[in-house]
Amino acid sequence: MTTTPRLVAFDLDDTLAASKSALDPRMAGLLAELLDEVEVCVISGGQIAQFRMQLLDNLTTANDAALARLHLMPTCGTQYYRHVDGDWAQIYNERLTDDEKARALAAVEGAARELGYWESDTWGPILEDRDSQITFSALGQAAPVAAKMAWDPSGDKKNTLREAVQALVPDLEVRSGGSTSVDITRKGIDKAYGMTKLAALAGIPLDDMLFVGDRLDENGNDYPVKVLGVECVAVEGWEDTAAFLTKLIPELRAAASAASA
């Protein structure tokens, strides 16, 4: 890139950490170093509990000054958290109304049952109320990756369910999430929505940001950020991201010392 970014944003699953897994200590160290140089955002379809388990509980080497530069956007930026007075504070939460939630839950359960996709043996609940998002996970939130891969290898079931649910709640947005999941939100909620909000909240133009994600392909949940025009770096897992940061951090340091010289 020609200029150095003022903010680096990351997807979470398969970008900073393996899916639903804790951050590797090496990545935790790199993020702490990065936070010494620039603002950082993590944006995901997942909820804050997932951020805590995967990310925050493992960011042990970052001090309060560094954590103050970290922006958390669960559920695609319909929720926003900052580190304030030693703890993570919710700054806003664009929750669905009770009516929207009730209709979304009824639509996805009804459609899944009708299509024969409502499983009886699951790893945890199938439906989850994430406040700003309703999520259907065919095999439950805690299903092992192998079971999820086997459930819908072609993605046909997920796409069929998505279309059926969308027809039932045309005023809401129904999207494919992870390998077995379907997410329901208000219209127009995706990572581009979150990044646009972030630009206003952080006071940093999108042109001064860099986004790193593993699903920047046309069907991926990171793709809207690319369409938005943010400079993007595609990775295939956290090891890729670690390799990228190992290169980026010294460049940021060099640019900062050149600017202050």
Q: How far is the CB of 98 from Mg ion (least distance, A)?
A: 30
Give 187: exposed, middle or buried? Use CB within 10 Å, 0-12, 13-18, 19+: exposed
Among the listed ranges 7-15, 69-77, 87-95, 204-212, the one in contact with Mg ion (CB under 5 A) is 7-15
Residue 101 vs 215, nearer CB to Mg ion: 215
Site track for Mg ion across 130-159, x = CB under 5 A: ------------------------------
Question: How many residues in the shown chain lie near Mg ion by CB under 5 A?
Answer: 4
Q: How far is the CB of 64 from Mg ion (least distance, A)?
A: 28
Work out which of 38, 214, 235, 241 binds Mg ion, going by CB under 5 A.
Answer: 214
How many C-alpha atoms does 207 have within 13 Å on its Cβ side? Answer: 2
Instruction: Look at strands 7-10 and 209-213 and give their pairing.
Output: parallel
Q: Does 14 bind Mg ion (CB under 5 A)?
A: yes
Q: Does 11 bind Mg ion (CB under 5 A)?
A: yes
Q: Does 183 bind Mg ion (CB under 5 A)?
A: no
The residue type of 251 is E
From residue 247, how far is each of 30, 69, 221 by CA, in Å? 11, 21, 26
Residue 152 vs 214, nearer CB to Mg ion: 214
Nearest-angstrom CA–CA distance, 221 and 203? 24
List the alpha helices (DSSP H) in 116-221: 145-151, 156-168, 191-202
Site residues (vs Mg ion, CB under 5 A): 11, 13-14, 214
